[in-house]
Amino acid sequence: MQIRELGEFGLIERLAQIVDESGAGGQPRSDLIVGIGDDAAAWKSRGLVQLGTADILIQDVHFTLETTAWRNLGWKALAVSISDIAAMGGFPDYAVISLGLPSDTEVEDITKLYTGMAEIARQFNMAIVGGDVSEAPLLIISPSVIGRVEKDRMLTRSGAIPGDRIAVTGYLGSSAAGLRMMKKKPELDPVIASALIEAHLRPCPRVSEGRLLGENGVKSAIDISDGLIADLAHICRASGVEARVRLADIPVHPTVQAAFGEGSISLALSGGEDYELLFTAPGGIIERVKQRLSIPVTVIGEIIGGELGKVTILGETGREVEWEKRGWEHFGDH
């Protein structure tokens, strides 16, 4: 069987299984709290919880140099991993970066790439402390970020329980709209187009928002990278619950709504890479969070004790809507 038949999430489950069965999962380490399968790994270290996460960005899979400026690429490469720490309710502290580069890459371009990474690192009070560089036939950026969180403030994918409301920070769809704009250059107001492209290229990880969720008693969260529905399904699988989402309540980005009309809901549900936080908690906690966050928080549905891992989408009339493309998955048929 080939990886494409298993799909990305099937593969991750398989890898977790191998690691567990071979005794290289949680067993050797009594200090491990969260292993494979969440936004970041978490382990105890002298009363603190350390967080570790890694990502890989590959030329012509995750980005193309024709449409992405090097500086933005640097920003985004690190943003992706910082967002994983935010989704655990933690602070990002340190980054180690592995790079694969063709040997005819311009030093000037790599300088821009690192300038972008340094920019976002500085914004979050992080330090870039090491890594590896290697020759490669194409550009590869593999960031790892180490962070920390207090144990009682940690957010995981597995913390959702029936009765929780489901909520999301900010607006959705602008990153996917920006990507579409970069690829097809539709005739849009250039100011709007560049705002959307900016949303795609320079996402802002929700670190302070994640901190606030943890401080106010939220237990379950994920960042929206694969797409709202796909990421909600990750929470449902990890928590052993079902989610019901109302289409009418999805906070589609107003600019996306104005520019894409009916097509905008699809960008918001499945586009991905918004790097907003999707979380679940009892209604009272969500109300408290709403009052304290400086960005919008929208309740979009609720967690029920139904079919494990299922996400049901309810249309205007309250009837279930079929949703074909549920989010990004590597090795799938795109």
Q: Which residue has the tokens 């490669």?
A: 136
* DSSP codes of every residue in 282-320: -HHHHHHHHHH-SS-EEEEEEEESSSTT-EEEE-TTS-E
Q: Which residues from 134-173 bind a copy of itself, rule CB under 8 A?
A: 134-138, 140, 142, 144, 146, 148
Q: Which stretch binds a copy of itself (CB under 8 A): 128-136, 153-161, 179-187, 248-256?
A: 128-136
Segment interacting with a copy of itself (CB under 8 A) among 109-117, 185-193, 254-262, 290-298: 109-117
Task: Scan residues 202-241 and list those touching a copy of itself (CB under 8 A).
Answer: none
The correct pick among 130, 162, 240, 254 for binding a copy of itself (CB under 8 A) is: 130
User: By CB under 8 A, what part of segment 35-64 binds a copy of itself?
Assistant: 35-38, 40-41, 43, 45-48, 50, 52-58, 60-62
Q: Which is nearer to a copy of itself, 114 or 323 (CB)?
A: 114
Decide if 99 contacts 131 (C-beta within 8 A). Answer: yes
Sheet strands side by side (includes 220-223)? 220-223, 277-281, 165-169, 297-304, 242-246, 311-314, 320-321
Q: Which of 82, 88, 117, 199 binds a copy of itself (CB under 8 A)?
A: 117
Q: Is 107 in the site for a copy of itself (CB under 8 A)?
A: yes
CB of 274 to a copy of itself, least distance (A): 18
Measured distance CA(133)–CA(115) in Å, rounded = 16
d(CA 82, CA 121): 9
Cβ-contact 73, 116 below 8 angstroms: yes
Pairwise CA distance, residues 299 & 220, whole Å: 14
Choose, by CB under 8 A, the member of 66, 108, 262, 324 that binds a copy of itself.
108
Bridging pattern class, strands 140-149 and 57-58 = antiparallel
Smallest gap, in angstroms, from Cβ of residue 179 to a copy of itself? Answer: 17
What mask of x and - would describe binding to a copy of itself in positions 64 to 103, judged by CB under 8 A? Answer: -----------------------------xx-xxxxxxxx
